[in-house]
Amino acid sequence: MQNMGDAFGLALQLVFSGDADLLEVVMLSLQVSLTATTVASLIGLPIGALVAIGRFPGRNGVLIVMNALMGLPPVVVGLLVYLHLSRSGPLGFLGLLYTPTAMIIAQTILITPIVAALSRQVLEDLHAEYAEQFRSLCLTKLQIVQALLWDARYSLLTVGLAGFGRAVAEVGAVIIVGGNIDHLTRVMTTAIALETSKGDLALALALGIILLVIALGVNAAVQSVRMTAAKQAYV
């Protein structure tokens, strides 16, 4: 258990010494996971909205599949992306394997179902509330989707955070498609895996603590945006 004490000390030391390598790894983690969250939102929110308001045959099946895909194992996503981006795979000519772009692609695939499935539930509940009003205004589907997305924006921020949390915490996918290359594709989770395998448990734990603090910071930033916006809305 002495590792715990060491880890907290080491985490503080790393942060306050302004370690350049650590900063690089932290920045790449944020860059990859925030980009993946953005792309996943751009894809997942419209899908969630369309399924929420749509009534079509096979809709229940789509719902089940969407919800099930929230449990996609990161390693499997990593393998699938690897097989496609590998030089001998169909997209090998792009030369994307072992780049941050490959990691963004893998994380996007991993969290798009989360964004789609959760936003579908949020928007469907809201739609049930607004449906009559929408009908009386004779809105088009597109206008309905826009209105729903706008009115649910704060709940959807939480949906985005759920996706971000999954992305920034996973290691299985990025270690396969990124390769954990120093100064190129090393992120917080793969660095933690590496230090664990070197038996430097205190350093691994220290990095884990820093990762948690970063996740806390991102959540706090979103929360403050939300509160500021809410305050302005009532002025």
Partner 1 sequence: MQMKTLGAATIATLLAGAASAQDQSIIVQSTTSTANSGLYDYLLPMFEEETGIQVNVVAVGTGQAIQNAENCDGDVLLVHAKPAEEAFVEAGYGTSRTDLMYNDFVIVGPEDDPAGVDSMEDVQAALSRIAEDGALFASRGDDSGTHKKELALWSVAGVDPTEASGDWYRETGSGMGATLNAGIGMGAYVMTDRATWISFDNKQDYEIQVQGDEDMFNQYGVIPVSPERCPSVNADAAQTFADWLVSDAGQEAIGGYVVADEQLFFPNAPSN
Binding site for partner 1 (CB under 8 A): 31, 35, 38-39, 42, 86-89, 92-102, 104, 179-182, 184, 194, 196-201
Output 137 or 181, the one with its CB closest to partner 1: 181
**Shorter beta-carbon distance to partner 1: residue 52 or 82:** 82
How far apart are CB 201 and partner 1 at their closest, in Å? Answer: 6
Q: Count of H helices and E strands in the chain?
A: 10, 0
Alpha carbons 215 and 188: distance in angstroms, whole number: 11
CB of 25 to partner 1, least distance (A): 15
Least gap, CB of 68 to partner 1 (angstroms): 26
Sign of the dihedral defined by the CA atoms of residues 130, 132, 134, 139, in that order: positive
> Measuring CA to CA, which residue among 144, 145, 124 is closest to residue 134?
144
Nearer to partner 1, 15 or 201 (CB): 201
Least distance from partner 1 to the Cβ atom of residue 93, Å: 8
Q: Is 110 exposed, middle or buried (0-12, 13-18, 19+ CB in 10 A)?
A: buried
Q: What are phi and psi of 199, to 5 degrees?
A: 80, 5
> Which candidate, 13, 26, 35, places its Cα nearest to that of 188?
26
Nearest distance, CB of residue 202 and partner 1, angstroms:
8
The gap from C-alpha 105 to its chain's centroid, in whole angstroms, comes to 11
Q: Rank residues 54 and 73 by Cβ distance to partner 1 and give the closer one.
A: 73
Nearer residue to partner 1 within complex by CB, 66 or 96: 96
The length of the chain in residues reads 235
- To partner 1, the closest distance from the beta carbon of 67 in angstroms equals 27
Residue placing its CB nearer to partner 1 in the complex, 14 or 66: 14
